[in-house]
Structure 1
Amino acid sequence: MPRCLLITFDAFATLFHPRRPIPELYASVARSHGLNDASITPATLQSAFKTAYKAESKAYPNYGRDLVLRGEYGGPKQWWTAVIKSTFANALNQPDLQLPGGMVERLIETFASREGYSLYEDVEPCFDELIKYKVHQSEFDCVVTGAVSNSDDRVSAVLRSLGLSVGRTRADEDRSSTLLPGFEVTVSEDSTDRGLQPNDIDMVITSYEAGQEKPNQLIFDVAARQADRLLSAEKSTKYDLNDIEWTRIHVGDDFAKDYQGATNAGWRAILLDRERTFTDT
């Protein structure tokens, strides 16, 4: 029986982190657009951002995906626009605040690239070794790598901007991810699986596209199914895709969402405790 390995990683706080604290970046962009009110400080923005993010998450879970599917909501762009506007309105205590033109778009662009994020120092060496492992190991007949993230579809753009090679496979729950309004611009040719290529990350599965956030089992099931789909597109595949023994491993920093979510879905899990939250005392 063929043996295959699927190893996936959480994105934010596992593979990459903000280049500067998010409130500092918000304040910097605000100043560059002429919003110089003394109340616009990282401290006030941090509190205001948390309030706005929590409120939007409650009102429109998973970037309003259910409403998006009914044609009643605009998806991540509308979601983040509301968070940004509410953040500054809360910070300035001006509910009807009108932000300078282009400011919202600038912030969204910042957090879709290396302007907003940096890789952790151990990430590139990790994927360098994984690429070698894919080629030279003999334990598995194939190795598939992925990112599984509670996020919108900017993750792949962030990873590419940080120098990682990213495959084209995305989630496809309910509707093709290419039909959901989001940030990633694709065409039909780009959305077609082309089998396993020499990528650092073969597939990106986000909660917005998959339909549920971790720790829900659905997002892990979608990742497992898409790994099968990648193999089915691999022209060199010479074995029955229904007769594969999979080893599935997920790596992440959140105990409940990543570790427990993966184990409850029948995967193996590795908790990457970057903040040393679970260090013995």
Structure 2
Amino acid sequence: MAKRNLLICFDAFGTLFKPKRPIAQQYGEVARGLGLSGFTDEQVSKSFKAAFKHETKENPNFGKSNGLNSTTWWTNIIQNTFNPLVGPSPTLTQHLAPALLYRFSSEEAYNLLPDVLPLLQDLRTHPPHGIDRIAVGVITNSDDRVPSVLTSLGLRISPLTYGSGGVKAKTGMGEGNDVDFTVMSYDVGFEKPDRRMFGAAEEMLASLPVAVGTEPGSWVKVFVGDEFEKDVVGAQEAGWLGVLLREAASGVPDGLKEVDERVAGALLRSLRGSGDAVSISSFSTLAKALGVVPEPDRSSP
């Protein structure tokens, strides 16, 4: 039997990484460090949610729909979060917004989920049985800060990203990356669960050296995320295989089958056809279910 190829992509925020502490708490810490006061973290949380909801409605997809860049979009949210709490202040624009934009572009704000890096590394060194070639991507509803966040967290990220006019940044596509490409909704112009996000990833795959000489139908396409509707249903409707990561998800729908985590290689065997979906508990069990063999000393102190 001819070997198959594997395209496996991941959601970013909430799936690969998560905030070290609640966002409102971090916003409050930075604001107080700049001399702002008179508010609680609970008030910041409530005000942030209202500001985020308003900005998302007025300027969808991180401002892309109305021609805003992501810096302006997030600055609007920061100002509208703190204006009701402290009143208009030059500090918000001149100091607080840049400080928060920097923090939430790096490891200062986030942690990788457990076993993300081992899984990505072992996919390269110990590919699943029956898989010939592997490509790894990120598909995320986000602005352009995701690659810098992932890089700061210790992942080797290719500069290959999807741009509004197609594929851009074709340099630095050699071997040695943990992630071969990144697809962000701001660049695509649409957000998951829109199938065009997954179509963009398929375009990215076609541009990779690893795909040269392969047939599109030889690639098993798997997407791993933490939101059922956006990630799993979106993947299914695009003809991909959707995997809900339970350690990151807020809930698991009734009837969504679980991978038998006791059996090595069970994931690719349990996904019988395009548009299938399963859940799995964690990245460590995902590695086992893919048939990835961890390095013998990976758990050593």
TM-score, normalising length: structure 2: 0.77
1:108 aligned to which of 93, 98, 101: 101
2:266 aligned with 1:267, yes or no?
no
Q: Please give the residue correspondences for 1:180-195 in structure 2 after superposition, counting only pairs within 5 Å.
A: 191-195=169-173
1:278 aligned to which of 217, 233, 252: 252
Identity %: 35
2:72 aligned to which of 78, 83, 91: 78
2:252 & 2:195 partners in 1: Cα distance? 24
2:206 & 2:225 partners in 1: Cα distance? 22
- Change in CA separation of 1:153 and 1:31 when aligned onto 2, cut-off 3 Å: same
Q: Please give the residue correspondences for 1:210-225 in structure 2 after superposition, counting only pairs within 5 Å.
A: 210-225=188-203
Tell me which residue corresponds to 1:128.
121
| Structure possessing the higher relative contact order (Cα contacts under 8 Å, 6 or more residues apart) | 1
**Shift in Å, 1:238:** 6.2
1:238 & 1:58 partners in 2: Cα distance? 41
* CA displacement, residues 257-281 of structure 1 (integer Å, 9 cap, x when unaligned): 000000000000100122462287x
Structure 1 alignment gaps of length 5 or more: 178-190
Asked whether the equivalents of residues 160 and 173 of structure 2 are also in contact (C-alpha less than 8 Å), the reply is no
Q: CA RMSD in A?
A: 2.1
1:173 & 1:2 partners in 2: Cα distance? 34
Asked whether the equivalents of residues 3 and 244 of structure 1 are also in contact (C-alpha less than 8 Å), the reply is no
- Change in CA separation of 1:192 and 1:276 when aligned onto 2, cut-off 3 Å: closer
1:89 & 1:193 partners in 2: Cα distance? 43
**Shift in Å, 1:65:** 1.2
Q: Which runs of 4+ in 1 moved over 6 A?
A: none
2:208 aligned with 1:230, yes or no?
yes
2:227 aligned with 1:254, yes or no?
yes
Asked whether the equivalents of residues 85 and 99 of structure 1 are also in contact (C-alpha less than 8 Å), the reply is no
2:246 & 2:129 partners in 1: Cα distance? 30
Number of residue-to-residue matches in the alignment: 251
**Shift in Å, 1:217:** 0.4
Asked whether the equivalents of residues 196 and 230 of structure 1 are also in contact (C-alpha less than 8 Å), the reply is no
Asked whether the equivalents of residues 2 and 244 of structure 1 are also in contact (C-alpha less than 8 Å), the reply is no
**Shift in Å, 1:246:** 1.3
Asked whether the equivalents of residues 158 and 173 of structure 2 are also in contact (C-alpha less than 8 Å), the reply is no
Letter in 2 for 1:270: V
Tell me which residue corresponds to 2:20.
19
Tell me which residue corresponds to 2:82.
88
TM-score, normalising length: structure 1: 0.83
